[in-house]
Amino acid sequence: MLRLLGYLLMNGVATSKDYCPSLGDEAIGLPKLASNNCIGSECSKCSDICPTEAISVLDGGPNANLELDLGKCIGCAMCIRICPEKTFSSNASTETAAVNRKSLVLSTKALDIQAVNDIEGARSPFARSVACRVVSTGCSACDLELSAASNSIFDMERFGIQIVASPRFADVLLVTGPVPKAMHAALKSCYDAMAEPKRVVAVGTCAISGGLHGSGYAEANGISDLLPVDVYIPGCPPHPWSIIDGIRKVMR
Ligand code: SF4
Ligand code: SF4
């Protein structure tokens, strides 16, 4: 015991004291809209280069109307690099989860609305603790970040968030990956096995929209058409803080 106390005194506490701190300068977050200088459809470099069709240039410039759908964005940063008008910049926030799919769509016509913090409504039955079952249908990068959210730095259990082994014990279904057709029935069975009340969280861009896999032969377009989604966590993969933020939005 004394050795353990000595070790802790020497090394300090690894667990972050801040909730959802901003990303460091070395990290590239999801993009945000930084200006409405877009010169419009005669340029369209950003929408041409975007690999997931997350950007729509809706008219000609100057000050063209442009929409950025974070629910499709994989955070490759190519739009930030290519835009000659500096329309995009990196968003250092890790509080990126949304309870409303529409609030993930940003517009140059509403530059002041860059935050997707749209929690509203009554107190949740899961305010004190929540048990989560994970169904993984993708490349597992989101699963690795979900696993990191349990480590001693992020320590999501201190917020009352637990991962459980069976849908019978779960309040929340966390879905990662684009959910190809071969997983539709398995995912539905898992959801049906959960008792009411229950919630669904789409963890990562693939689970929201299919991401890079969307509209492909495997019909991997995310879970929105399969299950009622309560919280959307964009990112490819999302940061562990963003995952904790999303689950906390279920808990309210
Ligand atoms: S690259 Fe920049 S200027 Fe060109 S369409 Fe996209 S946002 Fe507008
Ligand atoms: S950062 Fe997102 S919106 Fe920008 S080009 Fe990459 S996928 Fe498209």
Domains in the chain (CATH in brackets) are 31-110 (3.30.70.3270), 130-251 (3.40.50.12280)
Q: What is the Cα–Cα distance from 130 to 153, expressed in whole angstroms?
A: 20
What average pLDDT does the segment 168-195 reach? 95
| Ligand nearest the Cα atom of residue 106 | 2
Q: How confident is the model at residue 130 (pLDDT cuts 50, 70, 90)?
A: very high
Q: Is 39 in the pocket of ligand 1 (CB under 6 A)?
A: yes
Nearest to 41 by CA among 26, 51, 24, 56: 56
Please report the atom of ligand 1 found closest to the CA of residue 64. Answer: 8
Question: What tokens does 130 get?
Answer: 């929540």
pTM above 0.85, yes or no: yes
Burial class, 197, CB count within 10 angstroms (exposed 0-12 / middle 13-18 / buried 19+): exposed
- The finding on whether 104 has its CB within 6 A of some atom of ligand 2 is no
Question: Which ligand sits closest to the CA of 50?
Answer: 2
pLDDT classification of 115: cutoffs 50, 70, 90: low
Query: Is the confidence at residue 120, as pLDDT, over 70?
Result: no
Q: Which of 39-48, 118-127, 188-197, 200-209 has the lowest mean pLDDT?
A: 118-127
Interior angle at CA 128, CA 125 and CA 131, nearest 5: 80
DSSP state at residue 163: E
As a whole-number percent, the residues of the chain with pLDDT over 90 amount to 70
Out of 45, 47, 55, 88, mutate this one to test ligand 2's pocket (max ligand atoms within 8 Å of CB): namely 55
Half-sphere exposure of 71 (CA within 13 A, CB side): 24
More confident residue, 217 or 175: 175
Angle at 41 between CA 38 and CA 43, to 5 degrees: 70
How much is the average pLDDT of 119-137? 84
pLDDT of 71 reads 96
97 C-alpha vs ligand 2 centroid, how far in Å?
17
Pocket test for ligand 1, best of 33, 45, 58 (most atoms within 8 A of CB): 45
At residue 55 the predicted structure's pLDDT band, cuts being 50, 70 and 90, is very high
pLDDT bucket at 113, cuts 50 / 70 / 90: low
Mean pLDDT of all residues in the chain?
Answer: 90
State the DSSP H helix or E strand holding residue 92, giving kind and residue range, or none if neither.
Answer: none
Cβ of residue 108 lying under 6 Å from some atom of ligand 1: no
Q: What is the mean pLDDT of residues 137-160?
A: 94
Using a 6 Å cutoff on CB, does residue 87 contact ligand 2? no
**49 confidence band (pLDDT: 50, 70, 90):** very high
Flag the least confident range among 54-63, 93-102, 161-170: 54-63
Nearest CA to ligand 2 atom 2: 73
pLDDT of amino acid 226: 93
List, in order, residues 6 or more apart from 158 with CB less than 8 Å away: 15
Q: Which of 95, 91, 92, 113 is nearest to 36 (CA)?
A: 113
**Measuring from atom 6 of ligand 2, which residue has the nearest CA?**
76
Higher pLDDT, 99 or 121: 99
H-type alpha helices, the chain: 2-11, 45-49, 78-82, 141-148, 181-193, 205-209, 240-251
Residue nearest ligand 1's atom 3 by CA:
38
Q: What confidence tier does 36 reach under pLDDT thresholds 50, 70, 90?
A: confident
Give Cβ neighbours of residue 55 (< 8 Å, ≥ 6 apart). 46, 47, 66, 67, 68, 69, 79
Ligand 1 probe mutation, 79, 81, 83, 108, most atoms within 8 A of CB: 83
Q: What is the mean pLDDT of residues 129-148?
A: 95
Nearest CA to ligand 2 atom 5: 50
- pLDDT grade for 12, boundaries at 50, 70 and 90: confident
